[in-house]
Amino acid sequence: MNKIKKNISLLIVLTSTISSIVTVNSQTADTISFNTAVDNIKHIDVSTAESTYDQDFYLPAKNIIKNSQSAVRLVSDITGIDSISLQDDNDTKNALLEYFRAETEAFSQMIDVSNYNIKVAEPNDPQDYDSLDAQAKKIYELLVFSSPRSYYLMQDNGTYAYNLFDYDFRSDGTYLTFIEPVYFIDVYDQNNKIDPSKVEAIRPIVEEKQKTLDNEVKYAQLFINYGMTDTEKLAALQYMINLRYSYSYEDFLKPSNEQKNNTAIQLVENKTGMCLAYATLFNYLAMEVGISDTGFVTSKDSNGNDYHTWNLVKAKTPAAGNVPHWYHIDVTWDDTINEGYGRTGMAYFFLSTDKINESHNIFENGRQTVFAPTEEEIQKYTGEPTDTTFDDALWHNSATVMVPYAEKWYFIIHQSDAEHPSVLYRYDPRGTTDSERYTELFTFKEEWMNGNQVLDHSYTGLGLVNGVLYFNCPTSIHSYDLINGKPGKEIKIDLPQGYDIFSSYIAGSTMYYGINLTNNPNNEEIKFGGTYKLADITMADAKLRNNHLVFKLDTYAPENKSENVTVIIKDGSRLLVENRKVNSYIPTLGSDTTGADPQSSWFTFDLEETDADNPPVIYIWGDNQKAFISYFCIDNKIYRHNGNGGADVIDLS
C-alpha cells in the first residue's frame, strides 16, 4: 500500500523484557512504569521526528472519495422494473459509476458508455425510443442520485433531465451507448454546447461546493469506528444525518416546481431538506464507508407522481447469521423534525417490504392515495426477498439512538407513568428469543413537562464514553457503567431559570444538549443549551487486522486544546511507545482552527508477538503520569488491566 510521511511522532520499539509494573492510585489502571518508558525516549525530539503510517489503513474510510469502491444497483425506480443484465455484474457497476462521476465532474457533453454492455431491451421487447428511454432513464437516475459531487445534474427540487440517449441494436438485444446529460449550471454557449471558458469560470464555485460535501464525508467518519459491522455503520450514519439536519416541511407544502432543498448538496449547505435530499446523502455516505449494495425506493401517488423516496441496502448483521440481506431504511421518517439535539428514531430502520408498507402505503378516508412498491416488485430489483428479522424489534420504539459496544446494542424505552418507568436496555443480536436478546439494565423515572402537563415522549439522548453510557434527564446527566454493571452519580447541570434539558447527543468525550422552557405554551423550538465534558480523553474500540492495531482517541471537542498523550502498547516482550498531541476540536463556522488536527486522533501500531488470540495490552497516559483508561476494547472484547502486566477479558452478559 502507499505509504506517506508526516511529522507527528516517533514509534519506538523497545525490545527489552517488560519487568516494571505499577498501580497508579486506587482509581486508575495498573500500567507499565511511566518513568521507565519515558526515560527511553527523552533523548528523541518528537516534535521533529517523522513517523511512517499507512493512511489507507488507519482511517475508517478514504479522506475524499470521488470514486466509490462500493457496488450500486443500477435501477432506482423499482415500480414496474424490468430485468437489466448489468445488475449481476458488480465490477461493471463500480466502474460505470466511477466513470460517470469523472465524466460529469469534467462536464463532458456526451458520455460514451458503450464499453459497459448495458442492455436495456431483449430482442422481442419493444424497440421504440419511448420504451428504450424509459429503461435508460432508470439507469441514468441512479447514476445521478449516486453522484452528489456533480450536484448540477439536479435542480433544487430534485428533478433531473437528459438531452439524449443513444443505442446499439444488436442481435441479442438493445444496448445503451451514449448519454448526453443536462447540467443545470452556466456552462453552455448559445448553441447548447459545452463552453470550456465557462467551465473554467465556474470551476472555483463548483470546487467550493464539492469541498463542502467532501467535508461532510470527513465529519461522518467521526461517527464510524474502524471495523464496525454494516448494521452499526448504517445506524451511525442515520444518527449523524438526523443529528445535523431537519426536514423542510415548508418546502413540502409548496408546489413541486417551487420546492428547494431536495438535493444532497443543499441539505449539507442549508441544514434542511426533503426526502430525496436525505436519501441521496445517506446513500452517498453509505457507499463511502463501504456498504456494498445500495439503492432507492420511491412510492407513487394516485396520479403516478413520485411521492416519497427512501433507501434500500444490503447488509450483514449477526442477528441474521452474518449473511447479507436486503433491508429498507427511511432516514427521513426517522428524523424527529426539530425535536431537539440528538433526537432520532429507529422506527423505520432495517425493515422488510411488508413491514414498511404498513406505514408507507397511505390511505385517506378508506381510499389508498400513496402506493409503495410490493415485495414482488422489490424482488425484481434485488433478486431475493427482504429480511424480516428486525420487523418486531423492541428498539423500533426506542427514544434514543442505538449505541453499539462489544457486540451488544443499548437503547432507552421511554415510559412516563409510575407503574412503567423508563428502561435502559441491552440488546444481544445473537439471541434467538426475546429473553435472550433483551436485558433490562436500569430503570428510572423521568418526565418532561409543559406547565402541569406531562409530555408523552422522551427528550433524552444516549452515548458512550470509555465504557460508560450517558443520558440526560430534564435537569441532570445520568450514567450507567457497563464495566462494573451499576449506575453512576447524577450530574446536575446549571440551567437558566425556567429551562430544562431537552435531548442531547455525544461525540467523542463531549455531551451536547438542547434546552427549552419548562412551561412552553407558545411551543418555542428547542435551542442549543451547552456542552459538558465527560472525559479528558475517550478511546474508541480498537481493531486488530493483519498484525495492525488501530484505534482513535478524542479530546473535549468544543475546546481547541491539545492533550499530550503517551500511548504504550505491550506487544509480548516488546514495548511500543508513541508521544503525540491529540486535538479533535470540531470548529464552528469561522472559528480559529490553529492547532486542531483531526488526523492526530488516529493511532496505528505494527505488532509482531501478539494477535487476536493473544492480544496486546494498551495503556494511555497523559501529563503528570495520569492514566486515562483502566480498560480497553479490541475487536468487541473488553479487557481490564490486571496489575500483572496483562489484561483480563470482561464479559458484559
Query: In this predicted model, what pLDDT tens digit does every residue of 50-85 receive, in sequence order?
Result: 222 233 322 222 222 222 223 333 333 333 333 333
Reply yes or no on whether the pLDDT at 413 is more than 60: yes
End-to-end CA distance of the chain: 39
Q: What is the pLDDT of residues 535-591, one digit of tens each?
A: 988 888 888 878 899 888 888 877 777 888 899 999 999 999 999 888 877 654 334
Reply yes or no on whether the pLDDT at 492 is more than 90: yes
Residue 599 main-chain phi, psi, to 5 deg: -65, -25
Q: What is the mean pLDDT of residues 503-519?
A: 87
What is the value of pTM for the model shown? 0.77
On whether residue 40 sits in a domain, the answer given is: yes
Reply yes or no on whether the pLDDT at 276 is more than 90: yes
CA distance 494 to 499: 10
The residue with greater pLDDT, 547 or 626, is 547
Q: What is the DSSP string of 304-373?
A: S-EEEEEEEEEE--GGGTT--EEEEE-HHHHB-TT--TT-B--TTEEE-HHHHHHHHSEEETTEEEEEPP
The residue with greater pLDDT, 41 or 547, is 547
CA distance 8 to 47: 7
On whether residue 643 sits in a domain, the answer given is: yes
On whether residue 631 sits in a domain, the answer given is: yes
Confidence of residue 264 (pLDDT cuts 50, 70, 90): very high
Write out the H or E segment, with its range, that includes residue 215.
helix 196-221
Domain with 642, as residue range(s), is 4-61+540-650
On whether residue 582 sits in a domain, the answer given is: yes
Q: What is the pLDDT of residues 324-364, one digit of tens each?
A: 999 999 999 998 655 555 567 789 999 999 999 999 999 99
Q: What is the pLDDT of residues 416-469, one digit of tens each?
A: 666 778 899 999 888 888 889 999 999 888 888 888 888 877 788 899 999 999
Structural domain count, the chain: 1
Q: What is the mean pLDDT of residues 132-152?
A: 92
Grid coordinates in use for 3? 505509504
Query: In angstroms, what CA-CA distances link 19 with 37, 38, 644?
Result: 11, 15, 10
pLDDT of residue 12: 30
Average pLDDT, the chain: 80
Write out the H or E segment, with its range, that includes residue 280.
helix 275-288
- Using CB atoms within 10 Å of the CB of residue 182, give its burial: 0 to 12 exposed, 13 to 18 middle, 19+ buried: middle
CB 283 within 8 A of CB 331: no
Reply yes or no on whether the pLDDT at 223 is more than 80: no
On whether residue 571 sits in a domain, the answer given is: yes
Q: What is the mean pLDDT of residues 225-248?
A: 83
CA distance 400 to 57: 32
pLDDT of residue 580: 87
On whether residue 53 sits in a domain, the answer given is: yes
- Pairing relationship of beta strands 574-582 and 631-634 according to DSSP bridges: unpaired
On whether residue 28 sits in a domain, the answer given is: yes
Residue 435 main-chain phi, psi, to 5 deg: -65, -30
pLDDT of residue 343: 62
pLDDT of residue 295: 86
DSSP bridge partners of 569 = 576, 618
- Pairing relationship of beta strands 574-582 and 272-273 according to DSSP bridges: unpaired
CA distance 301 to 398: 30
CB 630 within 8 A of CB 644: no
